[in-house]
Structure 1
Amino acid sequence: MTDQTMAGRTVLVTGASDGIGAEAARVLAGKGATVLVTGRSADKLRPVAEAVGTEPLVADFARLDDVRRLASEVGERVEKLDVLMNNAGGTISPKKRTADGHEPNFQVNHLAPFLLTNLLRPQLAAAGSSLVVNTSSVGNLIGKIVLDDLDYEHRRAIEFPAYGTGKLMNIVFTRGIAQRWTDDGIVSVAVHPGPVGSSFGRDSWLVGLLYRSPLKRFATISVPEGAAPLVALAERGPDPAVNGRYWSQHKADGREHRQASDQAIIDGLWERSAALVGLA
């Protein structure tokens, strides 16, 4: 019999169509949580939703209107949200802009989850105490946040550094929540799940090549191993000891870019992101 450590808690997992998002959703449902799942592929998401006993919430993070609709649908289904798992993301070729005109790594990895989390703040606050888990990456170390050029309008976007910048933004956003939403009882944590052998990088020719090669088994960990840190943090819940911190797999205080603790970056990214998505 599975332990019911998540009984009575409601969780939303983004990027739940496959990989660690799908695995985390299944495990948390098995532990008694009410789990909502969202992803961009209706075909992939449907069996995951069936497995956790819910209806699929299809949304493409390359479209901010999809994110707004998703937040509305979540609000219609649940009054409170105990855990928001911002797991959607990946490395994407920067050649094409999103439907909203943004560089795709910036929008999918940061701007969309920033908007979703802000729109779901009432549900997170209604829980009394809640947790936001942001899936980041050791790739944050190759990122660089340029506040006056977040969308690469004045410099060339290169795929891996752009991805790394998005993952750095996940940590910076985590710190922003920790500083701003404490009065709502909202705790935030960022986590690097490890080099997971899933569909990460499916939109990248180069990453896809590695993940389809025999090198994959040497370079990556399994999907259950990658989902385990997310599940462990969700079970731990809104512990003040994790607030604003960056975990590397199961250990606190992973290696992070120096910008992650720069207050001007933390404030500047929040303010510019809010303006870009139309939040007051």
Structure 2
Amino acid sequence: MSTIVITGGSSGIGAAAARELARRGHDLIVVGRDAGRTRSVAAECGGTALLADFSRLDEVRGLADELARLPRIDVLANNAGGLMHRRELTVDGFERTLQLNHLAPYLLTRLLQPRLTASGARVLHTASVANLVAWRRFETLDWSDRRWGGGWRAYGTSKLVTILFARELARRTGLESYSFHPGYVRTSFGAESPILRRFTNLVESAQISPESGAAPLVQLATADEVPGENGGYFSQLQPEGRAQRRAKDPELAARIWARSAELLHLPVD
């Protein structure tokens, strides 16, 4: 039985993955922002509920402290995230999309790195085919000079950063680290975004259930051997998912890692 931590586990593919992994006999730590939903999913799974709002980095640090007390962590699934249709800053001073989708999971992973290394853990990252619409230049991770456009390109950029983070984590630490696109999942994700609602209507016939969207997370969490290179990006269950060429740029991945560390006052190594 493995101990599996899923952030964003209170709804959508996170909740669906937690239920399936629990059915297979694994020990689940369900992390969410909403107390009622998170505790409900954890109760269904016979697991543990932990609360953290990723728009507050102090709560991410508190979550890391709680998780570091676990005897071991076999899988950390960085699944929490969001798309903001209006540009706004968190209490930490970062753009919210960037913090939810990258800085918070980067911080959590870095703080847990000793525990993950000791356990020989596998780290999973929910990315997206939306990486294809990422901004051309974004290395500073400061998007204040960009036209917001409903937040879609900021979201896509954060998901390209997610893919790069997964690759660089594998390179720097030797941990197994994989990112994946879950598919066009029928959930309430991005419900406040008019652009995403219009896009959802266009691809309605291609939408899949949260359970189908959770399949790559479940597969990557439980496979004895992952069919692909360490650090790789999957499109659902297929390795070498559709991504920009920059998603394999090692220099860009290293710069993003270093800049993230600088913003969060962490050592680069």
TM-score, shorter chain, exceeding 0.5:
yes
Following TM superposition, by how much is the alpha carbon of 1:263 offset from its aligned partner in structure 2, in angstroms? 2.0
Q: Give 1:115's aligned residue.
A: 107
CA distance in 2, matches of 1:46, 1:82: 21
Q: Give 1:69's aligned residue.
A: 62
Instruction: Look up the equivalent residue of 1:191 and give its one-letter code.
Output: F
Identity %: 45
Q: Is it true that 1:13 corresponds to 2:6 in the alignment?
A: yes
Gaps of 5+ in 2: none
Contact 1:229 1:249 in 2 (8 A): yes
Q: Secondary structure at the match of 1:120?
A: helix
Instruction: Look up the equivalent residue of 2:58 and give its one-letter code.
Output: D
Counterpart pick for 2:173 among 157, 181, 188 = 181
CA RMSD of aligned residues (A): 1.8
CA distance in 2, matches of 1:84, 1:10: 9
Following TM superposition, by how much is the alpha carbon of 1:206 offset from its aligned partner in structure 2, in angstroms? 3.5
Q: Give 1:226's aligned residue.
A: 213
CA distance in 2, matches of 1:176, 1:60: 25
Following TM superposition, by how much is the alpha carbon of 1:229 offset from its aligned partner in structure 2, in angstroms? 1.0
CA distance in 2, matches of 1:145, 1:56: 39
Q: Kindly tell me: are residues 268 and 94 of structure 1, through their superposed partners in 2, closer, same or farther at Cα, counting changes over 3 Å? A: farther
Q: Secondary structure at the match of 2:184?
A: coil
Contact 1:93 1:104 in 2 (8 A): no
CA distance in 2, matches of 1:40, 1:138: 25
Q: Give 1:169's aligned residue.
A: 161
Larger mean CA deviation between 116-125 and 240-249 belongs to 240-249
Contact 1:144 1:168 in 2 (8 A): no
Following TM superposition, by how much is the alpha carbon of 1:96 offset from its aligned partner in structure 2, in angstroms? 1.6
TM-score normalized by the length of structure 2: 0.93
- For this pair of structures, how many residues does the alignment match? 266
Q: Is it true that 1:141 corresponds to 2:129 in the alignment?
A: no
Q: Give 1:4's aligned residue.
A: none
CA distance in 2, matches of 1:239, 1:207: 32
Superposition pairs of residues 86-165 of structure 1, within 5 angstroms: 86-127=78-119, 129-144=120-135, 146-158=137-149, 159-165=151-157
Gaps of 5+ in 1: 1-6
Runs (4+) of structure 1 moved beyond 2 Å? 144-149, 153-158, 202-211, 237-242
Q: Give 1:41's aligned residue.
A: 34
Q: Is it true that 1:51 corresponds to 2:32 in the alignment?
A: no
TM-score normalized by the length of structure 1: 0.89
Instruction: Look up the equivalent residue of 2:79 and give its one-letter code.
Output: N
Following TM superposition, by how much is the alpha carbon of 1:267 offset from its aligned partner in structure 2, in angstroms? 0.7
Q: Is it true that 1:81 corresponds to 2:73 in the alignment?
A: yes
